[in-house]
Amino acid sequence: MNPYHKVSPWPDTKFFTSFADYNEEEDSKMKTMVAFLGRSNSGKSSLLNAISNQKSLAKVSKTPGKTKLINVFKTDREFYMIDLPGFGYSKASHKEHKDMMKLIDTFLNVSKNLKILCILCDSQRPFPDEEMQMVEVCFTKKIIPVVVRTKADKLNQSDLVQSRRNMEKAMNEIGSPFPVYYVSTTSGKGMLELKTFLLEKLNIQM
């Protein structure tokens, strides 16, 4: 089996910086970037930790909606992982939600070196319109979109088939296929495939 099934191809990832705001000056600090976007509780922190094989790189928050900054992690493989604020939590006020969406929007508009956007969504939930719009934004901005359906260990085989069908329907609706990975940080399902995909698109050798 490939040795990267369990370990990370970028094990020496470290916290780099946080941004409450984003502009060209901030953008010039990072070269190639892979960003991760998802609602609070989508499993984003768990994925960032698992993908880097670290226990607490990103905080697995017990209070959904707490992450309001853009957190940047520097990997040892010539790219940066960008943890975008968790949006869309029902307890966040309308203003908070708007502020977070604005920060995400600014990041997507300003960043010149964003290569891949991983759009996370709990696989037990339907894929929301707002996330679908993010996929479309990627196409217009020439960013590679990757939909990451998290907590896949919670789906049984028929749920999985149904969910895949729904994702295909979404692709047909927008008229463009996009990659979708079903992953679980608890069972390890799909993790190797996702890491391999990211490295391939970044042109980095395993």
Residue 179 is a binding residue for ligand GDP (CB under 6 A): no
* Binding-site size, ligand GDP (CB under 6 A): 19
Site string for ligand GDP, 77-96 (x = CB under 6 A): ---------x----------
Between CA 26 and CA 110 the distance in angstroms is 9
Contact status: 45 vs ligand GDP (CB under 6 A):
yes
CB of 99 to ligand GDP, least distance (A): 17
The correct pick among 115, 149, 151, 195 for binding ligand GDP (CB under 6 A) is: 151
DSSP letters, the chain, are --GGGTS-SSTT-EEEEEESS--HHHHTT-SSEEEEEEBTTSSHHHHHHHHTT-SSSS---SSTT---SEEEEE-SSS-EEEEPPPB--TTS-HHHHHHHHHHHHHHHHH-SSEEEEEEEEETTSPPPHHHHHHHHHHHHHTPEEEEEEE-GGG--HHHHHHHHHHHHHHHHHHT----EEE--TTT-TTHHHHHHHHHHHTT---
Question: Which C-beta is closer to ligand GDP: that of 111 or that of 184?
Answer: 184
What token pair was written down for 188?
A: 């390890």
Say whether residue 42 binds ligand GDP (CB under 6 A).
yes
Q: Is 8 in the site for ligand GDP (CB under 6 A)?
A: no
Closer to ligand GDP by Cβ: residue 59 or 77: 59
Q: Is 38 in the site for ligand GDP (CB under 6 A)?
A: yes
Closest approach, Cβ 24 to ligand GDP, in A, equals: 28
Residues 185-204 contacting ligand GDP, CB under 6 A? 185-186
Residues that bind ligand GDP (CB under 6 A): 38, 40-46, 60-61, 64, 86, 150-151, 153-154, 184-186
